[in-house]
Amino acid sequence: MAYPNIELYVDGHWRRASGTPIINPADESVLGTVPHATKADLDDALDAAVRGFNVWRKTAPNARAQIILKAAALIRSRVDEMATVMVLEQGKPLNQAKLEILRGCEIIEWDATEGMRMYGRVIPAGPSLQHTVYRQPIGPVAAFSPWNFPMSSPARKVAGALASGCSIILKASEETPAGALQLVCAFHDAGLPPGVLNLVFGDPAEISGYLVPHQAIRLITFTGSVPVGKHLAAMAGQHMKPAIMELGGHGPVIVCDDADPVATARASVVTKSRNAGQVCVAPTRFFVHEKNFEIFAKSFAEGAAKLKIGNGMDPSTQLGPLANSRRVNAMERLVSDAKDRGARVLAGGQRINNRGYFYPLTVLADVPDDALAMNEEPFGPLALVNPVRDLDEAIAKANALPFGLAAYAFTQSADNVQRISNDVETGNLTINHFVASTAETPFGGVKDSGYGREGGSEGLACYTVTKNVSHKFA
């Protein structure tokens, strides 16, 4: 399967530009070149987004939905081809790549149909007075998506914007650009009007520094690290632009004394190894009741050690390479620091091979609170397993960091569920399983993990403005 030629997409047309190499993380070979947009390209995209918005906002919601749904159907028909390309550029196992693409389709389809139900309301007033609340598309959107989910992360932003009647300029990752390109191809082939969706790549700081302040852009949506998110949020605030910030996390997992430690550990291995742990909602800090700690830790380590590590194109692979050399370096630094501070290595802990960015699922136990890994988002296959005396201690430790994106708990007690639901500071809480969000539910964080929501009716609302019309009859 050949890797596609990566191009910019502006005003309904593809265009080439010089750029930088795209690296296969499994063998470090060069797959192709990602083009970098010039200022002229960005100006063209901005002009196109304004024209596209004026067309798209006046398009009937049902007609918009039909085009969006056609794009989703095209993606479903191309899932095998798209998944293969995703493995080449990002490294995740082929079955995980297919699941990501299908999940992206579910998001697109749900947003398309929900966009037809973005109702306003009429507020009773008096015999000759009526208040009407309108929800209208906010305008052209500047969207920035990360490398870890090359298709589904851009899909969230594109689907939300288009279903709400907005146009969008998508700045996707330069390291994994094909997922976004294939997404845009589907919308192009589905008949989306020119200018409604534009795709650019390039230097992230230069592109954000140009798009965010531009008067044509009315909303910023970003998925990525906390430091970059804070920078973009400050820039957006300086120019009075609303923003959706889906930033980093450091997912706590509370394993209560009444949970099955072996079954919970097995589920933890599967979820923690997904996408090699390069997931913002990945379960990372496991706080296990001391009664079950040793059996949980042992089961977790045994499961981690059995994972088949290799090239994502191999159907038997369960854990692919990390996406880039930066993540390998980060794992080595965090593990070394934790070991120096007294943590026990129960599984993994060392890079595999010298070619390709392979690192095993690493389980550390008894990790002190001051270890770097307990405070920095690992964003890799690193699980930190610590005992706690009771639920109070578990909740306190879960809330100890400035992150608040996703949290998990395992218990059979209704009282525990109520306490955890009320007291854990997070935007997404999952109990007795590890699915942090679905297409129909709102997704986003609190504290340093961001604000605004993607998904659900709450997510679509972020792409609209509320207008009140008060009409006094003659």
- DSSP-derived letter for residue 175 is S
> Helices (DSSP H) in 2-151: which residue ranges?
39-56, 61-77, 79-90, 94-114
Distance CA 93, CA 226 (A): 27
Both structure tokens of 108: 């697109």
Token digits for 358? Answer: 């392979």
- Phi, psi angle pair for 257, to nearest 5°: -70, -20
Q: Which of 7, 174, 246, 377 is catalytic?
A: 246
Q: Which long-range contacts (CB under 8 A, 24 or more apart) does 114-122 make?
A: 114/163, 114/440, 114/457, 114/460, 115/61, 115/64, 115/65, 115/68, 115/162, 115/163, 115/164, 115/165, 115/460, 116/61, 116/62, 116/65, 117/457, 118/61, 118/164, 118/460, 118/461, 118/464
What distance lies between CA 121 and its chain's CA centroid? 32
Residues 359 and 328 sit within 8 Å (Cβ to Cβ) = yes
Q: Please provide the distance, in angstroms rounded to a whole number, between the alpha carbons at the two ends of the chain.
A: 69
The answer to whether residue 246 is catalytic is: yes
Answer yes or no: are the C-beta atoms of 250 and 371 closer than 8 Å. Answer: no
Among residues 312, 349, 356, 319, which one has the least CA distance to residue 334? 349
Order of strands, edge to edge, in the sheet holding 129-137?
A: 121-126, 129-137, 464-472
DSSP code string of 329-394? HHHHHHHHHHHHTT-EEEE--S-B-SSS-B---EEEES--TTSGGGTS---SSEEEEEEESSHHHH
Asked whether the beta carbons of 325 and 435 are under 8 A apart, the reply is no
Contact indicator for 395, 420 with CB cutoff of 8 Å: yes
The residue from 166, 185, 256, 280 that is catalytic is: 280
Contact 312, 87 (CB under 8 A): yes
Structure tokens at 12: 């309904």
Residue 313 CA to residue 94 CA, distance in Å, equals 6
* The amino acid at 38: T
336 Cβ contact list (under 8 Å, min separation 6): none
Catalytic residues: 246, 280
